[in-house]
Chains A and B, each alone.
Chain A
Amino acid sequence: MIVLILVATLFVGGAIAWASEALDARMPRVVALLSLLVSAVLLLVFSLNSGPDVGSPGGQWWILASWSWIPRFGIALLVGVDGLSLLLLLLTIFLGLIALGAAWDEIKERVGFFYFNLLWTIAGVVGVFTALDLFLFFFFWEVMLIPMYLIIAIWGHENRAYAAMKFFLYTQVSGLFLLMAILSMSYLHYVQFARFSFDYFDLQNIALVGSLQTWIMLGFFVGFATKLPIFGLHSWLPDAHSQAPTAGSVLLAGVLLKTGAYGLIRFAVPLFPEASDSFSSVAMTIAALGILYCAKVAFAQQDIKRLIAYTSVSHMGFVLLGIYAWNLYGLQGAVMTMLAHGLSSAALFMLAGGLQSRFHTRDMRQLNGLWAKLPMLSAMALFFSVAAVGMPGLGNFIGEFLSLLGAFQSNPVATIFAALGLVLAAVYSLWVIQKVLHGSLQVPNEYSNAADLSLVEILCYALMALGLVWMGMYPQSFLDVSEASLLYLQSLSGGAA
């Protein structure tokens, strides 16, 4: 029930926000804030007062509910929330609020439509994290893409049309693979059980053998891996991130990338255990390659947002590594990396957006020595860069450490190469700090009287910083929530991949 209310709040809130623009240009953001706050409160109350339902499959689902939708094709509104989904839902709503904070003063044109798109994207993501009917899943998968495409295409920066088109093509083409794989699963269910079904639990019963399993698994993998993204399928991301408005980048990096990882954990590996097992060495090699390659490319960038985008790809490599290690350490590491990277990259994109709105440039060659001028912004930039380096005591470290720890047990060679990424992470992060924060002050002249952080910004950064410290110092509170669902997913694949 709560899931439907959540999605409905966001959908309806988006519609009202759009309509309310007619009254006042400041109304949409208030409406958006209200609907996000309502969702946040609902979710918090739910997560504090509820717990896993022992009777559900694996005894670990907090909610498992189903309503009939298109019974003829075995399509139902099957939604489920377990520890894994819950953590990601909390992250989504939290970053939704942060994105709202980023957009608060930045968006001045077609305000109503912007908040409509923002809320619908979030609603789509909420749906993706909860849907257990693959048809419904794919529906939400598309719902979250199109508003995001519009956000980039309408409110983006100078090269937005190109970036938005690229984003759209990549996700659509990879979505096609996903759709084909989902449809073949449903058809196979029809062949084996004489009825169509898109139900997650039904599809687990399909007997898949040989190359067929590999092909369908690859369909899922391509669909999710493009979103993650993995090395080789990543080139939409730097353009999309650097051209999107700040709120768009925050949502893209913080939440949308995680849908890919979630799909891999929830569907791609558990549904095809044997195929994933033999595929894991390839995936882990790709992960290690991506970590190193994108760290190196990040170092060469001059556009701050592009640089952060490449670091995102690099960090998602750790997630991929952890997932395909498919032991509890690796999976917990992947989940922690998703959460921590959600916060740290969102904060970094927001900082980059803050610089852009203050100095109207993202070019690091034009920005220097900001510490002397904007001490608070610089201190925040330092903090979140340090978090991205993987400093112990902050969330990213826990994630990366556990991922590598788990990965080492199944593939030591790839892990050793991936660990070298820790060195390269230091190289590019410190380079940014040196270029932008340190050195003697140099900014474009016409904007030399830029102000330090505003109250809204301080609030956003402080919340994210606290979140990272919490994850780093007491990760147990997160690990406990996700453990049961990860054990369940492992049990689906016979415990090994």
Chain B
Amino acid sequence: MESIPYEHGLILAAILFVCGLVGVLTRRNIVFVLMSLEIMLNACGLAFVVASSRWQHAEGQVMFLMILTLAAAEVAVGLGLIIQMYRRFHTVDISVLNEMKG
């Protein structure tokens, strides 16, 4: 079977990662920030999968599974925090929350 060159996979992962990063840096709505984070995580996962198929090693797949669980946990905690945030501050705009200023 003709395989996709692993460079293509990695480029796609990089593009996804940068998209997510730009989302994290530019969005003010915390829900979108969380979604962008998910994209970044999945970009990393994609890179792992590509690498594991390139070298015929199972560790990459294992790492992807770990990332998957991590992302699930993160979403659970993150959404919980967002709900708390909305309850307390009545906003989902993260730039409003800068009380930790030094």
Direct contact of A and B (CB under 8 A): no
Show the binding face of A for B, using Cβ within 8 Å: none
Show the binding face of B for A, using Cβ within 8 Å: none
